[in-house]
Structure 1
């Protein structure tokens, strides 16, 4: 097989998503997901050259799961050049993808309190993979790294300076790998040089964020110190009055943990609808007359439109708006409703093109004579592989 092979690992608290990426192939040799790790029902399913495969993992932890998965990857790859790890939070210390040295791993550990749902399981995957393949270069690709180009006036909170200088409390932003890939792919699709292009990017999935990207660099984004800030999401509230937390404590006796659980796991689309965090379910319910589902959709779209409009302040000009992520790439109704709230921008959809851009098909969905709007399918695994190879090549 020509071209170098990179294994991409995205480790969650009870799951491991993985892909074997060859630099000369558009498709992935292997891509799969291990689920319910740490339970008797642990299993992994994957596609290998288009063929579906399945393996029970028993009561495997992360290390044991990877030990069972990696021989299949190795057999398909023949030779691995390196392993790229998705890491959510690198704090202010990490500005780009880098070799996972003990010092960098220490940074990930130090920032675990800022991403308690992401960094600890990410470390499990990193340590397990390093123990299995100590001879390979292991590269960390950080969600926060892309946003390190934000100016200070965009990333600082209006709180006393010592909280920033002594405790690094600031806005970091997330989904950076996706925003980087999509903004660069969008420029390519539009025939514009990356270094002379200005985009609003909406990454919409169970987690959602929007970013203003100027000449290939993040200038502002909606997520902040943690992935809770910003847009309405599947189970996350997004922006709320900070005094809400004090009110919940004083009035209802909520602890800090109670508030965190409420705002991260019981709010968002799920909280408003009382039905589901899945946009497909809500759209179907709304079409059948469910008023709470309809309201959840309206709040989601309005808040998204308002945030995109605000992010335009970071742009010297607007070359276009890019939708990506599971919702952004497939929910035609959400794209339409969002643009309907942005009338001052003169956006207008080509309804036929909007309906066609689903299930992995990207392209222009705006009407002629109006500002450009495109659907750009994200490919975080490809971006992680690209950045991993760049580090290995010393670029």
Structure 2
């Protein structure tokens, strides 16, 4: 394949992200986003050769209209003949899908059958998959699951301390997410350290609007912070992370509806809830510098919890650690957050290399701890590349 390009699609409930990826170099030749679906301001924007374009999306079905505009776009830009597959990100594969698969009718039905595990995500993925299969009928379509990398977790890590009947009847267990990101950065970290990944041990820390930590032992996920859904684990942009489940019962007794409670935990918590200001880490850091108490508290809660998870996952790895690996929008760019996490880990000997930490931002990888200190590093993630490579390998 001289030009092995893959169209990568991530369909959300009210959005559709897309990119044309060169599966050999990892370069995104085209990237874009359809957003505000279902609203009058629905629109689609894309970036090509450094220039950004935006158009309105009209009609009754904004997902379908966006995919149809995407077809026109790849034709206009001359990509059509070089795209060999369409790769779809799917958040939840449950126990049914333990690796990437070529999509057929049975796979679509399988994803639909487990949509209760991810009611905010999987139904939207199905909409995007159906629209893309109709728009690109001659191309193979591949589903890549966020949960797949974590299928190597041992039972002691994924089993909840609840009745086994709940697991057998409803599949209630820890699944974990951000799998493509944790997979990619663990491989890149091993390459940077010039060590075979199957002999490497990492704690990978994906920090963005969604955030999770993963213990990677000998190249395999052995534990991760997100759980049955992406709500568990770390504090995030608008999600609460770990929470005493009795709080739900308490709020129900106070007259809150189930919908209101889960809206609160998913959309009004995290950075936004604690700060009372914003869900964006950049806004938190700016407000903190101006003395905003809520922003300062949100910063402290977040960095403390990240450090606690990292410390606990040293137990999960159960072997000498090669590195802590930061990634994601916050993990790659928020210097003050990384610095504070390392301060909280000082008891384990971690010492920041200030110049190295300052250099490892804005797309640059690098080691951010002093020589003689245990290693912490930054590796920019590339989930789209993993989706593209999986698609290529399956066809």
User: Secondary structure at the residue paired with 2:37?
Assistant: coil
1:70 corresponding residue in structure 2: 71
Q: How does 1:44-55 map to 2 (within 5 A)?
A: 44-55=44-55
1:247 corresponding residue in structure 2: 250
1:177–1:383 Cα contact (<8 Å) kept: yes
2:103 corresponding residue in structure 1: 100
1:80 aligns with 2:83: yes
1:21 corresponding residue in structure 2: 21
2:263 corresponding residue in structure 1: 261
1:29–1:76 Cα contact (<8 Å) kept: no
Contiguous gaps of at least 5 residues in structure 1: none
- Output the CA distance in 2 between the equivalents of 1:226 and 1:327: 21
Q: Deviations over 1:251-300 (max 9, x none)?
A: x2122212111111111111110000111111111111111110000000
Q: How does 1:1-395 map to 2 (within 5 A)?
A: 2-59=2-59, 60-74=61-75, 75-77=77-79, 78-250=81-253, 252-315=254-317, 316-392=319-395
- Output the CA distance in 2 between the equivalents of 1:322 and 1:348: 15
Deviation at 1:318, TM superposition (A): 0.4
Contiguous gaps of at least 5 residues in structure 2: none
Report how many residues are paired.
391
TM-score by length of 1: 0.96
User: Secondary structure at the residue paired with 2:265?
Assistant: helix
Deviation at 1:43, TM superposition (A): 1.8
TM-score by length of 2: 0.96
Could you list the structure 1 runs, at least 4 aligned residues long, displaced by more than 3 angstroms after superposition.
none
Q: Deviations over 1:93-116 (max 9, x none)?
A: 111000112222122112212211
Deviation at 1:26, TM superposition (A): 4.1
Single out whichever of 270-279 and 73-82 deviates more from structure 2: 73-82
- Output the CA distance in 1 between the equivalents of 2:350 and 2:71: 47
2:58–2:65 Cα contact (<8 Å) kept: no
- Output the CA distance in 2 between the equivalents of 1:360 and 1:76: 28
Deviation at 1:22, TM superposition (A): 1.6
Aligned Cα RMSD in Å? 1.3
* Structure-2 change in CA distance of 1:38 and 1:257 (3 Å): closer
Q: Deviations over 1:128-184 (max 9, x none)?
A: 001111221110000011100000010000111111112111000000011111111
